[in-house]
Amino acid sequence: MGYALTRIDMHIHSDFSDGLNTPREIVEFALTRRFDSICIADHVSRDTGWLDDFLMEIKALRNEFEGRIEILAGLEVEVLDMRGNLDVDPTRVSSADLVLASFHWIPGKSGRMSWRAIRMDRAIALENWFTAMRAVLRNKQVKMIAHPGFILKSYKIEIPTYVKEEVAVLAGRSGVVFEHNHKYRVPDDEFLSLLQTEGARILPGSDAHSLVELDELWRSWPDV
């Protein structure tokens, strides 16, 4: 899959959350690898105390490196429930360039589904994810879906074609970007094709947590 710019990465973690490198180190490394645009996207929640410092640092780097590389401030936020609510204070995200909604668990009727519950009924797990995804695509805060389908892949739950088709239609209508995730190789080829057919916007993200990983993921990516 080709992209509009030579090198774009919309999902890189810094040491503000669980990455190993500072935002400055990421930017300087990205310049050596001739990236056109990067988004430093760190994990946040409602009680994150460093959000303002993070946004200020990204803004300062953007100003310093203006004209050499585009630098975006991203927030990777957990999907909390099947209503598409996010684990973030909605009044604090307006200064971010990109809010990435991510599923790191499968929502249940109350809280998250346990591994035991998922093993007992994978169909319910799929339906809960599908319900939550539809709701997330209606959430106006969300600008991008991070590693779409990875949580199901990790539980070895296949996404049926009809589910991919409906999600693709909703993605095309909503304008929400879908990440083509380098680390987990999601969405799969069928899902990507359906998203493209429906006019959904797709952008690459490495989901890298270190400069070494960032370099390795891009070297192994077949389409760049």
**Tens of pLDDT, residues 129-166:** 999 999 999 999 999 999 999 999 999 999 999 999 99
Distance CA 157, CA 166 (A): 17
Closest to 68 measured CA to CA, from 40, 31, 32, 29: 31
Helix (H, G, I), strand (E, B) or coil at 78: strand
Distances in Å between the Cα of 201 and the Cα atoms of 182, 183, 194, 204 are 16, 19, 11, 10
**Tens of pLDDT, residues 64-76:** 999 999 999 999 9
At residue 110, the pLDDT reads 85
Structure tokens, 37:
């645009």
Mean pLDDT value of segment 183-210: 97
Longest alpha-carbon distance in the chain: 54
Amino acid at 77: V
Which is more confidently placed, 221 or 200? 200
User: pTM for the complete prediction?
Assistant: 0.94
Task: Show the domains of the chain with their CATH numbers.
Answer: 8-220 (3.20.20.140)
Task: Let me know if 117 is exposed, middle or buried by CB neighbors in 10 A (0-12, 13-18, 19+).
Answer: middle
Distance CA 201, CA 168 (A): 10
**Tens of pLDDT, residues 76-121:** 999 999 999 999 998 888 889 999 999 999 999 888 999 999 999 9
Q: Which residues are CB-neighbours of 6 under 8 A, at least 6 positions away?
A: 34, 36, 224
Element (H, E) at 44: strand 37-44
Closest to 199 measured CA to CA, from 224, 176, 222: 176
At residue 215, the pLDDT reads 95
At residue 223, the pLDDT reads 55
